[in-house]
Amino acid sequence: MRDEEGNEVMSEKEIIHNVMLVMVAGHDTSSVLITFILRLLANEPSVYEGVLQEQEEIAKSKVLGEALTWEDLAKMKYTWRVANETLRMFPPIFGGFRKALKDIEYGGYIIPKGWQIFWVTAMTHMDKSIFPEPHKFDPSRFENQSCLPPYCFIPFGGGQRICPGYEFARIETLVAIHYLVTGFTWKLCADDFFMRDPMPIPTQGLPLQICPRKLSY
Ligand code: HEM
């Protein structure tokens, strides 16, 4: 890729790397989130009921085949809290690199300017001084997200390099969950374990028994 004066501004290799980055960053992350929400909804009946009720209310207000709107997405407050709590406990991205721009003192140690630092999502998300009883799945933690201290909920990173796909990920997750819970029921068909590779994935690929759902409206 060249600018108007003919100087190369991006090599072919850089373009390929960027396209691959967007494909991995844009696909694997949201698919992991949706996978873990499906797993959770199968295991937690009370959370499932809350999500179903919210999504049915929205479905009832539409005629058959009518698409979801921005207003509908704004009503999916409980579902997004469930998604946030899923992101807190099972963040698709386990961390990232930063470079110290100046000497930093942290926990009695000096991190010298220029050093690379790897921040780990779970260290923050599982810190009980930020999220009491961190191993408990509790979507109500996100009832008032503005009360969370800055940089304490970081599934999408933070600062200048925060994930640019955040809004898109929110939309695709809410839309997918809407059509799944209103149209289908499902049961897990395998023992429930997951590993990190480096994204969290169910060891057996989350096989589901999925059935079309009778509409109650
Ligand atoms: C649940 C879904 C997603 C999660 C959890 C997620 C998470 C992240 C995280 C943690 C980072 C690093 C941010 C930082 O260093 O501060 C990142 C970067 C990035 N994400 Fe996402 N992401 C998601 C969805 C998406 C989607 C849907 C797209 C595109 C369509 C996308 C595109 C990108 C790109 C291009 C970067 C690199 C940005 C940069 O280096 O400046 N992500 N994402």
177-216, pLDDT tens digit by residue? 999 999 999 999 998 788 998 899 999 989 999 999 976 5
Instruction: Give the residue from 93, 98, 86, 111 showing the smallest Cα distance to 173.
Output: 86
Q: Say whether pLDDT at 57 is over 70.
A: yes
The yes-or-no verdict on residue 90 having pLDDT over 70 is yes
The four Cα atoms 74, 137, 84, 21 give a dihedral, to 10 degrees, of -140
Q: How far does residue 131's CA lie from ligand 1's centre (Å)?
A: 23
Query: Domain containing 136 — which CATH number?
Result: 1.10.630.10
SS3 at position 155: coil
- Domain count across the chain: 1
Tell me the residue range of the domain where 154 lies: 12-212
Does any domain span residue 21? yes
Please tell me the total number of residues recorded for the chain in this structure.
217
Does the pLDDT value for residue 50 go beyond 90?
A: yes
Q: Is the CB of 24 under 6 A from ligand 1?
A: no
117 — phi, psi (to 5°)?
-125, 140
- Whether the per-residue pLDDT at 217 is higher than 70: the answer is no
Query: Is 131 a domain residue?
Result: yes
Ramachandran sector of residue 208 (left: φ over 0; alpha: ψ -120 to 50; beta: rest): beta
1 belongs to a structural domain: no
30 assigned to some structural domain? yes
Residue 204 included in any domain:
yes
Residue 2, in any domain of the structure: no
Mean pLDDT of 133-158: 95
Is 56 inside any structural domain?
yes
Does the CB atom of residue 21 touch ligand 1 within 6 A?
Answer: yes
Query: 97 φ, ψ to 5°?
Result: -95, 145
Residue 4: its pLDDT value, please?
84
Which of 21, 97, 119, 156 is the best mutation target for the ligand 1 pocket, counting ligand atoms within 8 Å of the beta carbon and taking the most? 156
Rounded mean pLDDT of 89-104? Answer: 96
Tokens of 133: 């009883």
**pLDDT at residue 176, as a whole number:** 98
